[in-house]
Amino acid sequence: MNILILQASPRANGNTAWMAEEYKKAAESAGHNVTLVNVAHKKIAGCLACEFCHNKGNGTCIQKDDMQELYPLIAEAEALVLAAPIYYFTLNAQIQSVIQRLYCVNKPAKVQKMALLMSSYSPGVYSGAQYEYFDICKYWGVQDSGIVTAKIDEQKTEGTKGKIIDIVKNL
């Protein structure tokens, strides 16, 4: 399967980056083709709601920022993995920008499965993000292949690595 992991933490050595790498390693070991992109290091603005994409733009976005690099990767992805830290009880802004800029394509063309990897400091802070994620899976008609969360004492642990290896089996 062609897998695209969008890693949205600005901290290069943080836990979200570690989870994304562990997912990549596990998926590659299982024979998948994996592309991992750090979207936090890219310049991706929010959607302008200008409707250019749905009119003259014919499905293309008027904003020519780093999202242009992601559109072809997303168009080819068969599985999409969102990896993000929790900021103020939801997915961080960096991943939200990417999701909302998909307004022009509405649904990624080939995605059949999704997964969600999240980092936080505290336990019990994931419900808002999970609601959003499940609603997106439903809206796009794609299957959830699993969610792994890691609060502070679960970060970079063998236990979390095992959970990641487990959800990769659902691809």
Ligand X SMILES: Cc1cc2nc3c(=O)[nH]c(=O)nc-3n(C[C@H](O)[C@H](O)[C@H](O)COP(=O)(O)O)c2cc1C
The residues binding ligand X (CB under 6 A) are 9, 11, 14-17, 85-89, 119-122, 125
**Closer CB to ligand X, residue 12 or residue 109?**
12
CB of 147 to ligand X, least distance (A): 15
**Closer CB to ligand X, residue 1 or residue 125?**
125
User: How many whole angstroms separate alpha carbon 9 and alpha carbon 38?
Assistant: 7
CB of 86 to ligand X, least distance (A): 4
**Closer CB to ligand X, residue 106 or residue 127?**
127
Q: At what angle do helices 67-76 and 93-100 cross, to 10 degrees?
A: 70
Do residues 89 and 119 lie in contact, with contact meaning Cβ atoms separated by under 8 Å?
Answer: no
CB of 10 to ligand X, least distance (A): 7
Beta-ladder partners of 83: 7, 117
Q: Which residue has the tokens 């994931």?
A: 126
For 13, the token pair is: 């050595």
* Closest by Cα among 85, 155, 153, 157 to 119: 85
CB of 48 to ligand X, least distance (A): 24
Do residues 70 and 40 lie in contact, with contact meaning Cβ atoms separated by under 8 Å?
Answer: no
**Closer CB to ligand X, residue 122 or residue 170?**
122
CB of 22 to ligand X, least distance (A): 13
What is the number of the residue whose Cβ is closest to ligand X? 14
**Closer CB to ligand X, residue 4 or residue 118?**
118
For 125, the token pair is: 């802070």
